[in-house]
Structure 1
Amino acid sequence: MTGSLLLRNARLLDPVSGEYTEGDLRSADGRIVEVGPGLTAADMPSVDVRGAVVLPGLVDAHVHVTASTADLGSLPSSSPSYVAVHAARTMGRMLDRGFTTVRDASGADYGLADAQAEGLFRGPRLLFCGRALSQTGGHGDSRTRGTHAKDDHPCCAGLGRVADGVDAVRAAARDELRKGAHHIKVMASGGVASPTDRIDSTQYSAEELSAIVEEAEAANRYVAAHAYTARAVNRALELGVRSIEHGNLLDDRSVSLFLSQEAFLVPTLVTYWALKEEGREHGLPESSWRKVDEVLGAGMAALERAARGGVKLVYGTDLLGGMHRHQNHEFRLRGEVQSPLEVIRSATSTAAELLNLTGEIGTLAVGAHADLLVVDGDPLADLGVLAEPKHFRHVIQGGEVVSG
């Protein structure tokens, strides 16, 4: 996206300071080039947004754009082209919900990222990890007890790849990095949508996790770990994992480790709410649906504990299949614990820090990508403004109005 645009008479929200300024914002070649009162630009289109708030485009740091169904085990039998078309539609709808950047937490690859960047379809900027790394019988192993053959063929759709042993996980991490992974995703505990593991299990040995972290750091990347229990969260943090996904059952020691390790927590409250309400109708197997209760109630308490302790929190949703439409409901859920400004930061400036894109996204500063959200209403007074896309007047990506 390399558009040029002048927004006039805006209320500009800086998510870091939490302050509004009245003025104009001008972008050129997809970047913000000037912010201030009384700007003019005769050679570019302008939009008068008087009465509206302008904030940075939103970031969702835990999505699965290729998860066209909640029955994740069925994905490898789907045509890759079918899954790609589904993903393109899913990403277009994410853009309409105000998300101009997303971090995929397994499933998406360089093909989708390149196609979006080249403008072949509408969608948020896509940061991908390729396949998540899983031990045999781990959260990324979709085989049932009676299935013996392992099919990790790269042409097939799917979210995980199975690798066991230090040498094998090194090779798997290097392979995902070879294909351009922005981060490495690892399954460090059991999960809901996997058939043969328990949520309270830890996964991968310390030696295997350390090897994965070492490979990511050697490539100037980082590791994001799926982990629920305090035991799984804490050992991952101790071994150098930078981003914990979910963390529903963390404890006070977890909070201390997040702070000392300068790590990030990406809660995904809305997916448990959605899975409980309608997961089965979107393909979630009955055995997985029964596991939801183990993490559903604990998520809000974990968020409150982490927020109170000063952990860096990032917005994430983890929705699957037809439940993607609830993406903005996460704002409402987090607003039960955090202030509106804290939630907005989690989807803008703090998310940018996690993604190593500070100054590039999540800000209205000069030089950043001109990814902007124009909303009717004051999100600092009412998070419902962001929870309901009907309040969005314009979504702007790279200086071009792409929705609204």
Structure 2
Amino acid sequence: MTIALLRNARIVDGTAPEPTEPMAIVIEDGIIREVSPNATATTDEVLDLQGLTVMPGLVDCHVHVIATTANLGLNAALPSSLVAARSSVLMRDMLMRGFTTVRDLGGADRGLQLAVDEGAFLGPRLVICGKALSQTGGHTDYRGPYDNRDVSWYAQSLGAMGRNCDGVPEVQRAVREELKNGAQFVKAMADGGVSSPSDPVGYLVFSVDELRAMVEIAKGFGTYATGHLYADEAIVRALDCGFECIEHGNLISDATIARVARDGIPVVPTNITYDILAKSGAKFGLPPESVAKIADVREAGLEKLEKMHAAGVIMGYGSDLLGGMQTEQSGEFPLRGRYIPADAVIRSATTDAAKVLRMEGRIGTIAPGAFADIIAVDGNPLEDLDLLTKQGAHMPLIMKGGVAVKKAESL
């Protein structure tokens, strides 16, 4: 049994506009056992966090740990061994920014998850959907016009974000295979996208029957389906078919915002990716036809943040960055902070993120029974969200599951 005691912890988790009074946190075998002003424990491992702000480990609800380059067609063709090696670096860097749990939206498999769990790779806790489900000519079909080569190999390539499946029987098989292989939820490319060549935003790709088939199987396995969605028509269509989460949502209408708020459907905006793609996408390998699509969704996504916050929509923190752009993962904090209050921004990466991942009480909180995922920040992020950027430079302590993966000498 391992026991640790953290003292003088003024906690910020986004549920209040001010830090708590100083608390003591007792950690036993990687789990938080007690949080109170007077908690104590017999242990030699005592950390005094006086003068720091203490937060739950951050949660990013939309990452792609296998996206080692922004050219996703090229990425899919890389050797899986090379993708795994590069992914280990991407995941390590995520953890060192304070992200102790991430939800991968296409590509990461059970092998990467086990590599992290077993300690072979240093990285955040991974929640995975396996391959995202796409279709011929849809998002994650990177062949483009005039290229009709078979891409059935996508399903076996670690570097491929998704797999193509056409028609209800193929869709059913693909969903069942991904769930069999360890997927914890189902992700469908239910709209066109930016990074693929032949699917304009607003492209109604899968048929209604195909979408319903995904939902039926996901629910039968005790989980849910989420969708890559931009256009309001595509969002409504997916909701009508039973989808229970929306990724991106940049072109969502006011009426649909009211609907998802009423029904408790989470949305995961990913605005930092459009900001970076617009400035540097070509430099990082994004094809010209993809760069041209960015303006369609960039400004609209920022406008919707305010409307969704005002309506009370559950919003998870999402970055969705690719390749070398992943260094900007924390940039979503100050970007959102220009449109909604700081406590709401922080909540999107803590308690609201836990709702998106269906892990309430286990992540995104400092409370008894939760994983001891804890970061300490030099300053108050409620007053300055930039403290959560700079590659973790303002985080003298990063703890995942009770283990300090970063600990300043001053502690």
| TM-score normalised to structure 2 length | 0.95
Q: How does 1:143-292 map to 2 (within 5 A)?
A: 143-153=143-153, 154-156=155-157, 157-292=159-294
Partner of 2:141: 141
> Residue deviations 1:155-206, cap 9 Å, x none?
3220111111111111111110001111111011111001111112111111
Q: Structure 1 residues 14, 276: closer, same or farther in 2, change over 3 A?
A: closer
Matched, 1:62 2:65: no
Q: 356, 359, 379: which is aligned to 1:357?
A: 359
Contact 1:57/1:396 (CA < 8 Å) preserved in 2?
A: yes
Matched, 1:85 2:85: yes
- Give 3-state SS (helix, strand or coil) of 1:282's partner: coil
Q: How does 1:318-337 map to 2 (within 5 A)?
A: 318-337=320-339
Moved more, 119-128 or 235-244: 235-244
Q: Which runs of 5+ in 1 are unaligned?
A: none
Moved more, 348-357 or 147-156: 147-156
The amino acid of 2:7's aligned partner reads R
Q: 345, 348, 359: which is aligned to 1:346?
A: 348
Contact 1:133/1:186 (CA < 8 Å) preserved in 2?
A: yes
Partner of 1:110: 110
Q: Which runs of 5+ in 2 are unaligned?
A: none
Contact 1:3/1:398 (CA < 8 Å) preserved in 2?
A: no
1:348: how far off?
0.6
Partner of 2:119: 119
In the alignment of these two chains, the number of paired residues is 403
> Over aligned residue pairs, what C-alpha RMSD do you find?
1.4
The amino acid of 1:6's aligned partner reads L
Partner of 2:8: 9
What percentage of aligned pairs have identical amino acids?
44
Q: Structure 1 residues 238, 21: closer, same or farther in 2, change over 3 A?
A: farther
How far apart are the structure 2 equivalents of 1:171 and 1:262?
A: 29
- Give 3-state SS (helix, strand or coil) of 2:90's partner: helix
Following TM superposition, where does structure 1 have runs of at least 4 consecutive aligned residues deviating by more than 6 angstroms? none
Contact 1:234/1:253 (CA < 8 Å) preserved in 2?
A: no
The amino acid of 1:396's aligned partner reads M
1:38: how far off?
4.1
Q: Structure 1 residues 101, 193: closer, same or farther in 2, change over 3 A?
A: same
Matched, 1:74 2:77: no
Moved more, 49-58 or 248-257: 248-257
Moved more, 364-373 or 249-258: 249-258
Matched, 1:52 2:52: yes
1:292: how far off?
0.9
How far apart are the structure 2 equivalents of 1:212 and 1:148?
A: 26
Partner of 2:368: 366
1:14: how far off?
4.4
The amino acid of 2:156's aligned partner reads C
Contact 1:330/1:387 (CA < 8 Å) preserved in 2?
A: no
How far apart are the structure 2 equivalents of 1:208 and 1:306?
A: 29
Q: Structure 1 residues 29, 44: closer, same or farther in 2, change over 3 A?
A: farther
